[in-house]
């Protein structure tokens, strides 16, 4: 006999990227058994409509859902993303790249970064990113699936996608509905609690009601259940990250899409450019303490290339995380759970991470608080790790040309970040938890791009015979650069593999 206390019905409130990812993941796990899933969303309210740059685990999600990657790319008009180019962050005129995948290869068990640091200290002028296949490919405007290039110098690269957010939600809706998810159109106007403080019933504007044993709040910044109904509270991180608004606009493409996201620092924030197959997403993230919406809009519109086809629209946000992402029988996923500015494209990742953990701690109808407690501890650790990584991009700046950048340069660092960077400064050693999103190569890339170097290198590097080492590095760099000649441009790759027949 199955557990009589098992969940019988789960209701998802909201049908943006979060709602439909949650629905698709649940439907996939349930295989039509266990519990019923109903998603309520309102076309009148709509979705946030931004969120178009992803990171490599997004493709693992697509694969886990048994979605064909090429078909998905076609349907959501995606382009490939090999990393992010950061312009003017450390100093004006300086650019660096945060690539996906390897940056060089380990040599005799030593991290490549350590070998590179020794080479630099010995006067060899190698740039770290010359050894990163994704960086070199991105700068050449080329693309090839790294797993189809085993044994070549680009095998260690990785990639993600730039996607059309609305099309992603539509695609996943089709996927979830085909697997039994019931969609209800309507506006939730009232949320009733039972005597345990659990959400019991939602009332829609037209009077219909929805009951469920468990609710997933994907209502975006409105946070209808987790905050408005349950009042779980919010940890505000605006003392570390000063931007609190964004202007977003879509433009026509000018030329073929570049295989990376651009993040260009501005006087009071930064702007993004996310190229898709059929259009480009643009935005300007800024601190309202230093800039008005009008000025931020003007700056964005001055910089975009191509005709504006949608927007500009203003998106206010508050950086931070819900104090309890799961409380009683409500779990918040997506913007309802918290938000850190999109500099490293982490929000969509946190959606499926949140669903992965949900399945790890799946409750029955009693929702044992121990499960929620552990879930909250794990998810808030992820949010904190991401916060620190984003703060790193700001607090290490050498810019002092505007009040915004002076405030970033002089800010108080979170203790957790301070400890990480102090450790790194000693000899390039990084604190790396096994379960962390950003691995050491990501930290090395950003630290290097922001002019942070360790005082020395790890002592074990001196085990490596120096004879031939530096000539070997030069050869590896030249082989990688030379290999680009044989690769198709990203546009050629898309035309050959990802276009409708
Ligand atoms: P929304 O898209 O706002 O969806 C909310 C849903 O709830 C909608 O369906 C709405 O109709 C429904 N709803 C709300 N109230 C009610 C109600 N009363 N009744 C019924 N339905 C209701 N993430 C990335 O990974 N990469 C990026 O590049 C990136 N860029 C971003 C840029 C900006 C400026 C911002 C603000 C976010 C960005 N994000 C990015 C985050 C990303 O956009 C979100 O994580 C993602 O879109 C998920 O949003 P959501 O589904 O939680 O909310």
- Domain boundaries, given as residue ranges, for the chain: 9-77+163-236+319-385, 102-156+414-490, 245-316
**H-run or E-run covering 202:** strand 199-204
Say how far apart CA 116 and CA 122 lie, in whole Å.
10
The predicted pLDDT at position 30 comes to: 82
The predicted pLDDT at position 500 comes to: 57
Say how far apart CA 60 and CA 168 lie, in whole Å.
15
Render each residue's pLDDT in the chain as its tens digit; 501 residues.
888 999 999 999 999 999 999 999 999 988 777 799 999 999 999 999 888 999 999 999 999 999 999 999 999 999 999 999 999 999 999 999 999 999 999 998 899 999 999 999 999 999 999 999 999 999 999 999 999 999 999 999 999 999 999 999 999 999 999 999 999 999 999 999 999 999 999 999 999 999 999 999 999 999 999 999 999 999 999 999 999 999 999 999 988 899 999 999 999 999 999 999 989 999 999 999 999 999 999 999 999 999 999 989 999 999 999 999 999 999 999 999 999 999 999 999 999 999 999 999 999 999 999 999 999 999 999 999 999 999 999 999 999 999 999 999 999 999 999 999 999 999 999 987 778 889 899 999 999 999 999 999 999 999 999 888 999 999 999 999 999 999 999 999 999 988 655
The predicted pLDDT at position 3 comes to: 87
Note whether 287 and 406 are within 8 A (CB): no
Q: Which of 12, 341, 347 to mutate to test the pocket of ligand 1 (most atoms within 8 A of CB)?
A: 347
Say how far apart CA 304 and CA 386 lie, in whole Å.
28
- Where does ligand 1 bind, in terms of residues with CB under 6 Å? 13-19, 40-42, 45-48, 50-54, 165, 187-188, 218-220, 222, 224, 246, 248, 283, 315, 317, 334-336, 342, 345, 347-348
Catalytic residue of the set 9, 31, 64, 81: 81
Smallest CA-to-CA distance from 134 within 120, 124, 149, 122 is with 149
Tokens of 144: 């090839």
The predicted pLDDT at position 501 comes to: 54
Smallest CA-to-CA distance from 12 within 243, 279, 216, 186 is with 216
**Measured in angstroms, how far is the CA atom of residue 48 from the centroid of ligand 1?**
4
**Measured in angstroms, how far is the CA atom of residue 443 from the centroid of ligand 1?**
28
Exposed (0-12), middle (13-18) or buried (19+): which is 323, by Cβ within 10 Å?
Answer: middle
Per the annotation, the verdict on 81 as an active-site residue is yes
User: b/e per residue, 403-414, with b = 16+ CB within 10 A?
Assistant: ebbeebeebebb
**Measured in angstroms, how far is the CA atom of residue 17 from the centroid of ligand 1?**
6
- Give the CA-trace dihedral at 190, 194, 195, 197, to 10 degrees: -70
Q: What is the ipTM of this complex?
A: 0.99
**Measured in angstroms, how far is the CA atom of residue 41 from the centroid of ligand 1?**
12
Nearest CA to ligand 1 atom 12: 14
- Give the CA-trace dihedral at 106, 111, 113, 118, to 10 degrees: -100
Q: Which atom of ligand 1 is nearest to the CA of 285?
A: 34
Note whether 269 and 291 are within 8 A (CB): yes
Q: Which atom of ligand 1 is nearest to the CA of 186?
A: 20
Q: Which of 187, 204, 220, 314 to mutate to test the pocket of ligand 1 (most atoms within 8 A of CB)?
A: 220
**H-run or E-run covering 210:** strand 209-211
Nearest CA to ligand 1 atom 4: 16
Q: Which atom of ligand 1 is nearest to the CA of 335?
A: 52
Smallest CA-to-CA distance from 354 within 336, 381, 322, 379 is with 379
The predicted pLDDT at position 2 comes to: 83
Q: Which atom of ligand 1 is nearest to the CA of 188?
A: 19
Predicted model pTM: 0.96
Q: Which atom of ligand 1 is nearest to the CA of 44?
A: 11
Say how far apart CA 487 and CA 493 lie, in whole Å.
9
Phi, psi of 452 (to 5 degrees): -95, 125
CA angle 314, 252, 79 (to 5 degrees): 95
**Measured in angstroms, how far is the CA atom of residue 281 from the centroid of ligand 1?**
16
Residue 372 DSSP one-character state: H
CATH fold label, 9-77+163-236+319-385: FAD/NAD(P)-binding domain (3.50.50)
User: b/e per residue, 164-183, with b = 16+ CB within 10 A?
Assistant: bbebbbebbbebbbebebeb
Query: Considering Cα of 40, then 43, then 46, then 51, what sign does the dihedral take?
Result: positive
Residues annotated as binding site for 7-chloro-L-tryptophan? 81
Residue 110 DSSP one-character state: B
């Amino acid at each position: 006999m199955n557990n009589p206390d098992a969940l019988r019905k789960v209701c998802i409130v909201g049908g943006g990227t979060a709602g439909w990812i949650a629905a698709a993941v649940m439907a996939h796990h349930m295989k039509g058994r266990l519990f019923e899933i109903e998603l309520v969303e309102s076309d009148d309210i709509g979705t946030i409509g931004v969120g178009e740059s992803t990171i490599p685990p997004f493709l693992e999600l697509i694969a886990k859902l048994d979605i064909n990657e090429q078909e998905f790319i076609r349907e959501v008009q995606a382009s490939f993303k090999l990393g992010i180019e950061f312009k003017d962050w450390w100093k004006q005129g300086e650019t660096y790249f945060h690539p996906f995948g390897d940056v060089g290869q380990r040599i005799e068990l030593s991290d490549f970064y350590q070998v590179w640091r020794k080479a630099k200290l010995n006067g060899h002028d190698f740039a770290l990113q010359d050894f990163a296949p994704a960086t070199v490919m991105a700068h050449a405007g080329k693309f090839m699936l790294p797993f189809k290039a085993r044994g070549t110098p680009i095998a260690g690269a990785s990639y993600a996608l730039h996607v059309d957010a609305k099309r992603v939600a539509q695609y996943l809706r089709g996927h979830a509905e085909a697997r039994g998810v019931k969609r209800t159109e309507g506006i939730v106007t009232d949320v009733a609690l039972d005597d345990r403080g659990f959400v019991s019933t939602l009332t829609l504007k037209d009077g219909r009601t929805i009951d469920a044993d468990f609710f997933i709040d994907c209502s975006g910044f409105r946070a209808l259940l987790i905050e408005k109904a349950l009042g779980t509270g919010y940890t505000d991180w605006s003392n570390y990250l000063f931007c609190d608004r964004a202007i977003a606009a879509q433009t026509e493409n000018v030329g073929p899409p570049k295989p990376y996201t651009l993040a260009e620092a501005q006087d009071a924030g930064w702007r993004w450019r996310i190229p898709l197959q059929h259009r480009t997403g643009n935005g300007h993230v800024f601190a309202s303490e230093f800039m008005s919406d009008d000025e931020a809009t003007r700056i964005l519109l001055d910089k975009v290339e191509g005709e504006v086809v949608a927007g500009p629209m203003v998106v206010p946000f508050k950086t931070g995380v819900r104090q309890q992402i799961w409380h009683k029988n409500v779990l918040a996923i997506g913007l309802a759970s918290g938000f850190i500015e999109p500099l490293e494209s982490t929000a969509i990742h946190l959606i499926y991470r949140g669903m992965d953990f949900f399945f790890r701690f799946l409750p029955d109808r009693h929702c044992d608080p121990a499960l929620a407690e552990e879930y909250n501890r794990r998810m808030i650790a992820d949010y904190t790790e991401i916060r620190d990584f984003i703060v790193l991009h700001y607090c290490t700046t050498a810019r002092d040309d505007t009040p915004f950048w002076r405030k970033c340069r002089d800010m108080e660092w979170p203790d957790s970040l301070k400890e990480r960077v102090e450790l790194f400064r000693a000899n390039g050693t990084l604190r790396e938890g096994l379960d962390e999103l950003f691995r050491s190569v990501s930290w090395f890339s950003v630290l290097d791009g922001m002019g942070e170097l360790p005082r020395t290198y790890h002592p074990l590097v001196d085990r490596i015979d120096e004879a031939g080492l530096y000539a070997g590095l030069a050869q590896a760099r030249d082989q990688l650069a030379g290999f680009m000649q044989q690769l198709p441009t990203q546009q050629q790759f898309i035309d050959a593999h990802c276009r409708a027949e």
